Amino acid sequence: YTGKSIENALGDILKQNKVSDIKGLPVAVSEETSVYDAIVTLFLEDVGTIFVVDENNYLKGVASRKDFLKITLGDNDLGKMPVGIVMTRWPNIVTLRDEDTALSAAKKVEEFQVDCIPVISDDNVEEQAELTGRVSKTHLVKLLAEIDEQR
Ligand code: ADP
């Protein structure tokens, strides 16, 4: 590919693919989970971002590597501290829905400077929407790397 044709192909790919086409399975814990156990989950599941849900699987928060690093700088008992203390909560969570395009996902990653965005169900009230997936920077790069297969 050269110049304009790459540009067109990338634009098409980002507009034609929906979040539902590219999303992965979310890794989630409950708000009472200790920071220690959440960090262990981060390693075991090989992710950089963990989501926090309630008993209805409604999204409550997002905790990333930096959140965990910050809390480990202090003199804290990580085994006793709940992940709810370090997570980012509503109304500050950036989310996506299945019907959003990969382009809007890329724009949100850029605008809000986040690595990973939770995908939630189509309910009207965000605070009462179920967590259904995740879109990370890696999912978006993977989509672009498949440019040859998509044409
Ligand atoms: P890392 O900490 O691994 O660099 P991020 O850059 O994604 O990951 O996270 C930076 C900050 O943004 C953290 O405080 C985290 O809680 C928050 N954050 C991460 N993802 C989201 C999101 N989808 N919506 C809102 N805040 C988020």
Q: What is the pLDDT of residues 1-39, one digit of tens each?
A: 677 787 788 889 999 999 999 999 999 999 999 999 999
The preferred substitution site among 47, 59, 88 for testing ligand 1, maximizing ligand atoms within 8 Å of CB, is 88
Matching CATH number, 3-150, of 1.25.40.10, 3.90.960.10, 3.10.580.10, 3.40.50.1000: 3.10.580.10
Instruction: Report pLDDT for 31.
Output: 97
Q: How many CB atoms lie within 10 A of CB 106?
A: 17
Instruction: Report pLDDT for 1.
Output: 67
Q: What is the pLDDT of residues 91-133, one digit of tens each?
A: 999 999 999 999 999 999 999 999 999 999 998 899 999 999 9
* Cα 147 from Cα 142, distance rounded (Å): 9
pTM: 0.94
Q: What is the pLDDT of residues 39-91, one digit of tens each?
A: 999 999 999 999 999 999 999 999 999 999 999 999 999 999 999 999 999 99
Each domain of the chain, given as residue ranges in start order, spans: 3-150
Protein residue with least CA distance to atom 23, ligand 1 = 117
DSSP symbol at 62? E
Token code pair at residue 78:
């990580």
- Could you tell me if 111 and 142 are in contact, meaning their C-beta atoms sit under 8 angstroms apart? no
Instruction: Report pLDDT for 150.
Output: 59
Instruction: Report pLDDT for 148.
Output: 75
Instruction: Report pLDDT for 124.
Output: 84
Residue 118, classified by CB atoms within 10 Å of its CB into exposed (0-12), middle (13-18) or buried (19+), is buried
DSSP symbol at 24? B
Which residues does a 6 A CB cutoff place in the pocket of ligand 1?
48-49, 62-67, 88, 92-94, 114-118
Q: Which atom of ligand 1 is nearest to the CA of 118?
A: 23
* Cα 28 from Cα 51, distance rounded (Å): 5
> 């790069």: which residue's tokens?
141
